[in-house]
């Protein structure tokens, strides 16, 4: 995992980039969030950040769809930017080892520091793309950490029936840092191990490329990603592993 200070810095940097988005980008559609404009995306982030502030302060976990109402539409833009500043202050002042609550039960507060850094990095990328700019690259270490979070924290959340027709193994290898995973399919949930091993398909790329691939922001044939072996298995895995 990326260290706490790096995650906080990445979160603050991405919030600065979101704040700098031009006004004329706010009503543009977000490609990877069908039905959302950039304003909707900022409202979502505000809601997520608002909950995270409370969680790192010890509040009980409540699913996002049951959280208290928050602004939507144009009023959400200024509100979300204000909440984002509060979040940075909250995580900077939080004890990363203090207990917080999550869908997994009690976790260290760093769980939410990591989650907010990763959530914000992906949606900052979405927003910059929607604005018509070349998105600011995600740093290699943050991307490797994002890929790791996707594989070890999020994959187990998917329902078992999604995996019933998948069998085989996928090896992912970050080329710009320490990050390798073997994903084994064929049961009710994938088994993920952080190791170098031969898979039925191998995927090599920078940490950010792997992160964006897993979160359905980049295609497997995009520049910077190499696929060896059973590309069909990879395509089926990526189609199933969606949130």
pLDDT digits (tens, 9 = 90+) for 179-236: 999 999 999 999 999 999 999 999 999 999 999 999 999 999 999 999 999 999 999 9
Question: pLDDT tens across 105-164, in order?
Answer: 999 999 999 999 999 999 999 999 999 999 999 999 999 999 999 999 999 999 999 999
Work out the burial of residue 173: count CB atoms within 10 Å of its CB; fewer than 13 is exposed, 13-18 middle, 19 or more buried.
Answer: middle
Mean pLDDT, residues 42-54: 97
Mean pLDDT, residues 98-104: 97
Q: pTM for the complete prediction?
A: 0.97
**Domain coordinates of the chain in residue numbers?**
4-136, 159-240
State residue 1's pLDDT score.
75
State residue 48's pLDDT score.
97
Q: What CATH number should be reported for the domain whose range is 159-240? A: 3.30.1050.10
Name the CATH architecture for the domain at 4-136. Up-down Bundle (1.20)
**With contact defined as beta carbons under 8 Å apart, do 148 and 182 qualify?**
no
**With contact defined as beta carbons under 8 Å apart, do 61 and 103 qualify?**
yes
3 state SS for 24-48: HHCCCECCCCCCCEHHHHHHHHHHH
State residue 118's pLDDT score.
98
Q: Which 3 state secondary structure label does DSSP give 82? A: helix
**What percent of the chain stands above pLDDT 70?**
100
Mean pLDDT, residues 100-109: 97
């Amino acid at each position: 995992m990326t260290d706490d200070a790096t995650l906080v810095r990445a979160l603050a940097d991405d919030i600065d980039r979101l704040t700098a988005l031009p006004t004329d980008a706010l009503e543009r559609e977000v490609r990877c969030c069908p039905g959302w404009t950039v304003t909707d995306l900022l409202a979502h982030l505000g809601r997520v950040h608002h909950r995270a502030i409370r969680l790192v302060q010890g509040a009980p976990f409540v699913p996002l769809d049951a959280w208290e109402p928050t602004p939507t539409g144009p009023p959400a833009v200024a509100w979300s930017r204000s909440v984002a500043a509060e979040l940075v202050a909250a995580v900077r002042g939080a004890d990363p080892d203090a207990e917080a609550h999550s869908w997994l039960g009690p976790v260290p507060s760093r769980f939410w520091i990591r989650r907010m850094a990763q959530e914000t990095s992906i949606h900052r990328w979405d927003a910059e793309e929607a604005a018509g700019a070349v998105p600011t690259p995600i740093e290699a270490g943050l991307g490797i950490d994002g890929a790791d979070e996707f594989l070890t924290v999020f994959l187990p959340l998917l329902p078992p029936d999604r995996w019933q027709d998948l069998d085989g193994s996928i090896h992912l290898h970050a080329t710009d840092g320490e990050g390798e995973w073997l994903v084994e399919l064929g049961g009710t949930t994938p088994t993920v191990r952080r190791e170098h091993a031969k898979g039925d398909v191998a995927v090599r790329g920078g940490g950010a490329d792997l992160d964006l691939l897993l979160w359905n922001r980049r295609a497997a044939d995009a520049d910077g990603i190499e696929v060896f072996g059973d590309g069909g298995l990879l395509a089926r895995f990526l189609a199933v592993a969606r949130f």
